[in-house]
Amino acid sequence: MWSLYIKIQIIMNNLNIKKYTPTVIVVLVFIVLFAIFANKPANSNNTQPIDKEKTTLSNRDLAIKEALNNTDKLQQRAQVNGVTYILTDYDDTFYGGGPKENKPGWKFGGIIVFKLGNGKPIMFWESEEAINRGSVRFFDINNDGIPEIIWDGYFGATGRDSAFYVYKFNNTGFKLITPTETIKTSSITYKQTILGGDSGFTQIEDIDNDKIQEIIVGYRDGGIIVGDRSGVIHRQIYKFNGQTYELWKEEKIKG
Ligand SMILES: [Ca+2]
Ligand SMILES: [Ca+2]
């Protein structure tokens, strides 16, 4: 700044306008300072949130963002043919003014799998069935050395306390191998698992000891008062047939 003052003094002397020097110096300094700040990048000191951050993100958007930003924190990983797949899910619940909903027209959550390429997750596959609050994990349910995606959880108001989906890897994505029914409403049509029942009866177990897990669902008929053992438990057991799970046995158990 001092050198600038000297230069301005020299110019003033040459122009012989010494009597106006103080005013001219002030004006020139303002011009120089204005030029400096005018050339500064607009966002260099911009603390305002960018517009897109103001938009409420859906639960699906948040799940994708979380997966992309925190890849190292995700525990749901599986290796298939030397490739790493990362599993995440989201539900449709929201509280207060928080995030909500998912894909346009959807009323439920979903499962998303990323493929790890050059250390970065790339969208690989996404479920299309009705998914709600629950848990999702990789697990080799049919003991063939390749992990399936297992989801079990709640449908609540739709009538099933616990429910089940199994998705099998097929190179281009994951294919549903448990039975569903099609639900039509006035606005959307979607598929929902038929594997469901009362909470506490849904489980996987290798009943016939062939190292392939069966899926068991059930509900209690009558005897709903705690301690009343007069009811009947209905159990449905689904077995893997090499391609899909299908109904294998139905049982009624006193109790
Ligand atoms: Ca498997
Ligand atoms: Ca079995």
3-state secondary structure the chain: CHHHHHHHHHHHHHHCCHHHHHHHHHHHHHHHHHHHHHCCCCCCCCCCCCHHHHCCCCHHHHHHHHHHHCHHHCCCEEEECCEEEEEEEECCCCCCCCCCCCCCCCCCEEEEEEEEECCEEEEEEECCCCECCEEEEEECCCCCCCCEEEEEECCHHHCCCEEEEEEEECCCCEEECCCEEEEECCCCEEEEECCEECCCCCEEECCCCCCCCEEEEEEEECCCCCCCCCCEEEEEEEEECCCCEEEEEEEEEEC
pTM above 0.85, yes or no: no
Which ligand is nearest to the Cα of residue 237, counting in written order? Answer: 2
Ion ligand 1 contact residues with beta carbon within 5 A: 140, 142, 144, 146, 148
**Is residue 155 a contact partner of residue 216, using CB atoms and an 8 Å limit?**
no
Q: Ligand 1 centroid to 172 CA: how many Å? A: 16
Nearest ligand to the C-alpha atom of residue 177: 1
Across 17-21, 90-94, 202-206, the highest mean pLDDT is recorded for 202-206
Ligand with smallest separation from the Cα of 139: 1
The alpha carbon of 243 and the centre of ligand 2 are apart by a number of angstroms equal to 14
Which is higher by pLDDT, 160 or 244? 244
Whole-number pLDDT of residue 161: 77
- The residue ranking higher by pLDDT, 209 or 189, is 209
pLDDT top residue among 45 and 98: 98
> 60: pLDDT confidence band, cut at 50, 70 and 90?
confident
Name residue 139's beta-bridge partners: 148
Report the separation in Å between the CA atom of 136 and the middle of ligand 1, taken as the mean of its atom positions: 15
Residues of the chain with pLDDT > 90, as a percent, come to 39
CA–CA dist 207, 224 (Å, integer): 27
The residues whose Cβ lies within 5 A of ligand 2, an ion, are 206, 208, 210, 212
Q: Tell me which ligand sits closest to the C-alpha of residue 143.
A: 1
Give the pLDDT of residue 2.
Answer: 53
Report how far residue 197's alpha carbon sits from residue 160's, in angstroms, rounded to the nearest whole number. Answer: 5
pLDDT the model gives residue 36: 59
